[in-house]
Structure 1
Amino acid sequence: MLAADEVVDGAGNESNLSVVELDGGARAFHRPLSHRVSSFHRFFGHDLAHQSVHEVAAWNLAAGLGWPYDMIVAPSMLRVVDGRLGSLQLTAAGEVNPPIERTSWHEGAFFDALIGQQDRNVATVLHDRDRAVTSLVDHGLAFARPGDACASSLLLRQRHSVGSARLTTSERASLQRLLDNKQLLGVRGCLEETRVQALRDRARRMLERDCLPGVGEF
């Protein structure tokens, strides 16, 4: 049975996350399905299990899309830790708020646009300078529906700002592969139907327009 140590915030308060030591020395964050939800999260349309499930859904999609998304999104799965079911996400090495290489934020912007990421900020983009790898973490506030709020969209805004919102050939192929898959590459079984429909509609609009949506356009 997996066991965890609680994570505390800067004020010494217990947070929703706990750290799990895995075989081989790897570490992961566990977020139980029944974790506390703040008014901040409710403002963005999320309740109880949403954040944990959305972490897993984001990884399922990244894994289904394959390279490069399965390399920049931290793996996450549902696991029982200390008797509580929740998302278990591998920790990613790297620094917060580093210089972001173009290839990484270009790919990350596409992924954020597709999943309807509502809060991509500097704290959720990590860069490992030694391996030149960028990792995206924290997808709890994602899979937004039309009309849902957007707190931050760092990568998507950056891609728009340099005039590269048009889809690449590989991005169009990824969207088509998603739409052709009845289970939406493993996402359908994780999400509420309204969020599944919103994801499908975003993918269709992106293909029709041949470009990324605007910031907050879910």
Structure 2
Amino acid sequence: MIEAMELTKRYGPTTAVEDLTFSVRPGRVTGFLGPNGAGKSTTLRMILGLNDPTSGAVTVGGRAFRDRSRGLRHVGALLDAGEVHGGRTAAAHLAVLARSNRIPRRRVDEVLADVGLTDAARRRVGGFSLGMKQRVGIAAALLGDPPVLLFDEPLNGLDPEGVLWVRGLFRRLADEGRAVFVSSHLMSEMEHTADDLVVIGRGRLIAAESLERFAARGTGAGVRVRT
């Protein structure tokens, strides 16, 4: 479970995230919605301890993530599919992560099969399409078999078949009892994917509730026209 409590991040005079309080529950897919620049990526980085909050706190399973050794066993994350060194093969990249987190080497082959990259395992990542890089990133997130998973815009570069596969993957992970937190700026995609929504704008919380309740609040019988 992820719990953010009055989470705030400022960069000098600029406030990227202000007073965010929300939770991400196990067994649910929680969509993290907001336009580009709303503070979603900053929030994810604070969850992972990559950015320190100016005030407030965020915990994963009751503890700050940076206090956990062997982090991939606790949280799997895809933040930027392009961060993988292009000269490494997919298998080599995952093998380094497995060794540094004391994860059995067999997991590399298992997660590559899960994401459909078994045949590309010995190819260098620099030659992959964006969609294939996304799959490598998802494989890395799954490597430690963690109870909490974070994905930042995971559908970028995926073809329609890949989008359907990701939807099914998130559903399966949640059904296994994991907490799945998916950042996106596409409400249309979250309609097919999420159980709950955390919606932010300009760094501030707009809504934190079930998808059903959010959709019901946004449905009205009237139309307002301004001229």
TM over 0.5: no
Give the TM-score, by structure 1 length.
0.27
* Rg larger for: 2
| Higher RCO (Cα < 8 Å, 6 or more apart) | 2
Structure showing the higher strand proportion among its residues: 2
